[in-house]
C-alpha cells in the first residue's frame, strides 16, 4: 500500500450487500461496477470472509462508492452484509473485523484521516449493516 495522494480525509466502510456465504472476487465486483457504468471497481479495498484484504481501485484515483465523497473518502467494502433472504445484517467474520481494524490503522498511518464512517451515515442505505461509530 503506497501513499499516492494526500486528498484522503475519511475512510468509508461498505458491504457488498450479499449473503455472507456468497464468495465474490475482485473481478466479480469490478464486472458489476462496470455494468453500472463505472470505468472500473469503485472500492479501494475489499475484505474477504477469510480476512484477506485485496486492493481494488488504486489510491491514486478517486473512488466510485458514494456520491459526494469519492474524492475525500477511501472506499472499503467487506464481502457480505445480508442474510440469506437479502435483509441487511452484520455478517462480518472475526477475520473480517480484524482485517478492517488493521487496514484502518494502516491507512491512518499514511493519511491524516479525520473520521471513519459507514455508508449509512451519509446515504439512505443500510450499508455496511453495522454501527461504524461504535467500533472505529
- Residue 1: inside a domain: no
pLDDT in tens, 65-85: 999 999 999 999 999 999 999
- Residue 32: inside a domain: yes
Domain extent, residue 52, equals: 10-135
33 is catalytic: no
- Residue 3: inside a domain: no
Q: In this structure, what CATH number is given to the domain that contains residue 101?
A: 3.40.80.10
The domain tally of the chain equals 1
pLDDT in the model for residue 1: 44
65 is catalytic: no
| CA gap 70, 60 in Å, rounded | 12
pTM attached to this predicted model: 0.92
- Residue 75: inside a domain: yes
pLDDT in tens, 13-71: 999 999 988 999 999 999 999 999 999 999 999 999 999 999 999 999 999 999 999 99
Residue in 44, 119, 129, 130 annotated catalytic:
119
- Residue 33: inside a domain: yes
Closest CA to 65 of 27, 9, 13: 13
15 is catalytic: no
Q: What share of the chain is helix, strand, coil (3-state, %, to 5)?
A: 25, 20, 55
- Residue 128: inside a domain: yes
- Residue 68: inside a domain: yes
Residue in 14, 33, 44, 65 annotated catalytic:
14
Residue in 33, 43, 44, 130 annotated catalytic:
43
C-alpha cell at position 116: 471513519
Amino acid at each position: 500500500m503506497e501513499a499516492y495522494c494526500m486528498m484522503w480525509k475519511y475512510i468509508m466502510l461498505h458491504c457488498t450487500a450479499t449473503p455472507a456465504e456468497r464468495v465474490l472476487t475482485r473481478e466479480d465486483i469490478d464486472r458489476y461496477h462496470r455494468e453500472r457504468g463505472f470505468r472500473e471497481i469503485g472500492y479501494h479495498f475489499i475484505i474477504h470472509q477469510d480476512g484477506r484484504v485485496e486492493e481494488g481501485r488504486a489510491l491514486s484515483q478517486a473512488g466510485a462508492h458514494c456520491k459526494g465523497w469519492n474524492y475525500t473518502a477511501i472506499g472499503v467494502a467487506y464481502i457480505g452484509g445480508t442474510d440469506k433472504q437479502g435483509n441487511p445484517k452484520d455478517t462480518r467474520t472475526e477475520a473480517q473485523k480484524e482485517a478492517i481494524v488493521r487496514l484502518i490503522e494502516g491507512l491512518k498511518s499514511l493519511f491524516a484521516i479525520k473520521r471513519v464512517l459507514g455508508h449509512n451515515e451519509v446515504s439512505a442505505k443500510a450499508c455496511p449493516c453495522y454501527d461504524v461509530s461504535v467500533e472505529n
